[in-house]
Amino acid sequence: MIFIDACLRKKTPYTPIWMMRQAGRYLDEYKATRKRAKNFIDLCQRVDLATEVTLQPIDILDVDAAILFSDILVIPYEMGLPLEFKEGFGPQFLQTIDNEESLGMLKSNAHARLSYVYECVDSVRKRLAKDKALIGFSGAPWTLATYMIEGHGSKSYEKSKKMLYQNPKLLHALLQKLTDEIKQYLSMQIKAGANAVMLFDSWANALEKSKYLEFGWFYLQDIASYLKTMYPQIPLIAFPRGVGAFLESLHGKFDVLGIDWQIDMKEAKEKAGDRFVLQGNLEPARLYDYSSMKEGVISILEVMRNSGHIFNLGHGMIKDLPRENAISLVKLVRELSSKYA
Active site residues: 21, 25, 34, 71, 147
Nearest one of 137, 168, 165 to 258, comparing CA atoms: 137
Q: Are 29 and 55 in contact (CB under 8 A)?
A: no
216, 204 Cβ separation under 8 angstroms: yes
Between strands 90-93 and 133-139, the pairing is unpaired
The residues, ordered by sequence, that sit 6+ positions from 78 with a Cβ below 8 Å of its Cβ are: 107, 110, 111, 113, 114
User: 258: number of CA atoms within 13 Å, CB side?
Assistant: 25
Q: How far apart are CA 310 and CA 196, in angstroms?
A: 13
Q: Which residues contact 293 (CB under 8 A, 6 or more apart)?
A: 282, 286, 287, 325, 328, 329, 332
Q: Where are the beta strands (DSSP E) in the chain?
A: 65-67, 83-86, 90-93, 133-139, 196-201, 236-240, 256-258, 277-282, 309-313
The 10 Å Cβ neighbour count of residue 176 is 13
Task: Give exposure, 4-19, as e/b (b: 16+ Cβ within 10 Å).
Answer: bbbbeeeebebbbbbb
User: DSSP secondary structure string, 35-67?
Assistant: HTSSSHHHHHH-HHHHHHHHHHHHHHH--SEEE
DSSP, collapsed to helix, strand or coil, labels residue 330 as helix
